[in-house]
């Protein structure tokens, strides 16, 4: 089968690889759509999310949807034409952290599309039956793929616990940030301030629920009567994101850090965070939230379609990564159709 294989930094090659063989309790998914995620870009630009890393070739892609092959569908009692989304995070289910409900923090996790585990930028992929979620056909393959991104945003919002009518600032208006803005609006936030240096992204943020948008965190104070935001959710890929979030928050405010910083480094001066007495939480991936994500998308409370701005074939995967990493031509999220 054909697959997009990451061989080295900025080196993606579409080539033939062996067809995957399902193991016990696994099904084969014919991939319909797969999104390019920010963590995929870290692998593409740095080798991984933990800083510069030597790459052993593997297939990228963890945000995806598809249909089961006829044999797999028969085995699990689902129609072969049913559209499914797949949770790419496969926790061990045995460790202390899984038993505490922190499956997203499992140290033994197998994450599809993150080295050394092959992902979904291919024609087919084998996944555990338990990871498969049937979604309404009305969503379509692209939106079904973005459910994984929405799950990340839902988990971050669960940690944030926004309060009615408080001021929320979202730093970074990429896919996760745009979903956080919509969730904050649903949660009853008062004023939502979107921050991103890319004009097309802040314009879309205002269409999706932000009252005001600005290019720099230094402008947040002017939109909050000089006090800063009650809740700041950071969803950038910048090493300065943590610092900018702290700068945007009010005294006694709350931060939720969602973004993965470039080169695995945060730049943070201690005085401002300490003197403000900020409460800080870090958000990683998501536990079991797919049912809520599907419900929000199906009901229309959350809009996924505006995020899928650019479409690529599997043979164009390298171009998709290059364009999204450069943030060219108003791209929010590239969707690849194997």
Q: Where are the domains of the chain?
A: 2-134+304-337, 152-282
CA distance 132 to 27: 9
CA distance 272 to 258: 20
Strands (DSSP E) along the chain, which ranges?
2-8, 11-16, 26-35, 58-59, 63-68, 83-86, 89-90, 110-111, 124-128, 132-134, 168-171, 192-195, 212-214, 229-234, 249-257, 279-282, 308-313, 333-337
Could you tell me whether strands 212-214 and 83-86 are parallel, antiparallel, or unpaired per DSSP bridges? unpaired
What's the pLDDT at 49?
Answer: 87
What's the pLDDT at 54?
Answer: 85
- Work out whether the CA dihedral 135, 31, 20, 284 comes out positive or negative: negative
- One fold for both 2-134+304-337 and 152-282? no
- pLDDT interval class at 53 (50, 70, 90): confident
Superfamily for domain range 2-134+304-337: Medium-chain alcohol dehydrogenases, catalytic domain (3.90.180.10)
Residues of the chain above pLDDT 70, percent: 100
pLDDT at 34 over 90: yes
What's the pLDDT at 170?
Answer: 98
CATH dotted code for 152-282: 3.40.50.720
pLDDT at 317 over 90: yes
**What pLDDT, in 10s, does the model give residues 203-244?**
999 999 999 999 999 999 999 999 999 999 999 999 999 999
Q: What is the mean pLDDT of the chain?
A: 96
Give the SS3 label for residue 137: helix
Strands (DSSP E) along 208-248, which ranges?
212-214, 229-234
pLDDT at 50 over 90: no
**What pLDDT, in 10s, does the model give residues 181-194?**
999 999 999 999 99
What's the pLDDT at 52?
Answer: 81
pLDDT at 101 over 90: yes
pLDDT at 179 over 90: yes
Question: Is the link from the previous residue into 116 a cis peptide, with omega within 30 of 0?
Answer: yes
């Amino acid at each position: 089968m054909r697959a997009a294989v990451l061989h080295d930094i900025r080196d993606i090659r579409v080539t033939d690889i062996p067809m995957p063989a399902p193991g016990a309790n696994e099904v084969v998914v014919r991939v319909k759509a797969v999104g390019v995620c920010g963590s995929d870009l870290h692998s593409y630009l740095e080798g991984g999310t933990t800083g510069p890393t030597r790459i052993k070739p593997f297939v990228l892609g963890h945000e995806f949807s598809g249909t089961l092959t006829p044999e797999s569908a028969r085995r699990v009692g689902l129609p072969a034409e049913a559209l499914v989304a797949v949770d790419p995070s496969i926790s061990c289910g045995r460790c202390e952290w899984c038993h505490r409900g922190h499956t997203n923090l499992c140290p033994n996790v197998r994450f599809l599309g993150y080295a050394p585990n092959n992902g979904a930028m291919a024609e087919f992929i084998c996944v555990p039956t338990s990871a498969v979620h049937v979604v309404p056909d009305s969503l379509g393959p692209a939106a079904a793929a973005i459910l994984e991104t929405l799950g990340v945003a839902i988990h971050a919002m669960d940690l944030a616990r926004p309060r009615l009518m408080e001021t929320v600032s979202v730093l970074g208006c990429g896919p996760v940030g745009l979903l956080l803005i919509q969730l904050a609006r649903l949660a009853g936030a008062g004023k939502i301030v979107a921050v991103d240096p890319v004009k097309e992204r802040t314009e879309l943020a205002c269409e999706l629920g932000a009252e005001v948008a600005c290019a720099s965190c230094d402008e947040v104070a002017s939109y909050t009567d000089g006090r800063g935001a009650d809740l700041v959710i950071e969803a950038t890929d910048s090493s300065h994101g943590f610092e900018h979030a702290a700068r945007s928050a009010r005294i006694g405010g709350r931060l939720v850090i969602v973004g993965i910083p470039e080169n695995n480094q945060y730049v943070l001066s201690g005085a401002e965070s300490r003197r403000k007495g900020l409460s800080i939480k870090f958000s990683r991936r998501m536990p079991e939230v797919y049912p809520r994500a599907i419900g929000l998308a199906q009901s229309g409370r959350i809009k996924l379609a505006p995020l899928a701005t650019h479409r690529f074939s599997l043979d164009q995967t390298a171009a998709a990564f290059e364009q999204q990493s450069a943030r060219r031509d108003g791209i929010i999220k590239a969707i690849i159709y194997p």
